[in-house]
Amino acid sequence: MEVSIIDQQYSSGNALVDFLRDQQQLTFYNEAENNFRKTILLSSASYFEKELTETMIEFAKSQTGNNELIISIIKQKAISRQYHTYFEWEKSSANKFFGLFGEQFKNRMTQKVKDDPEFDKSIKAFLEIGQERNKMVHQNFAEVAIDKTAQEIYNLYQLALYFVNVMKGELIKR
């Protein structure tokens, strides 16, 4: 299994908070743990945004024969600063995103959600990360409380990876 930057970050963050706890540096431990949760959440959301937007660019390249004129306008008008409009973060469905690729694709992916419980769970984890990210960055980042532990956030990340990987396979294979 490939180790991502998020895996590395999670491992490093755990080592730091474990060290502080073991050294009985409770004030520093609490601060590090709080920052660690925020960092792993924001990093996971950012990682997924990069992965999906790059996948969409690769999809466009494959469908246009790598036509730079078309790729350029797609990047500027359909991808750049548009990622957060692809999803209805507060819902537990990726249908809005699926619909961006047409009704046939949306129907196929909706059926996949019904047929594959892991895919459904993965979508929910992905959307929860995005929703929590939005809450964190659109409220006062320094004051917002993250209710989940770093382990729970990392578990969501690991679940959500399946959604991102399925989308890569679905879009790039075409």
pLDDT value of position 117: 97
Whole-angstrom distance, CA of residue 81 vs CA of residue 96: 17
85's tokens:
């409009």
- pLDDT at position 121, please? 97
Report whether 64 contacts 70 (CB < 8 A).
yes
d(CA 103, CA 165): 21
Contacts of residue 53, defined as CB under 8 A and 6 or more positions apart, other chains included, come to: 79, 83
pLDDT band at 92 (very low <50, low <70, confident <90, very high): confident
CA angle 119, 128, 54 (to 5 degrees): 70
pLDDT at 140: 85
Rounded Cα distance, 147 and 156, in Å = 13
- Average pLDDT on 84-101 reads 94
pTM: 0.93
Report whether pLDDT(1) > 70.
no
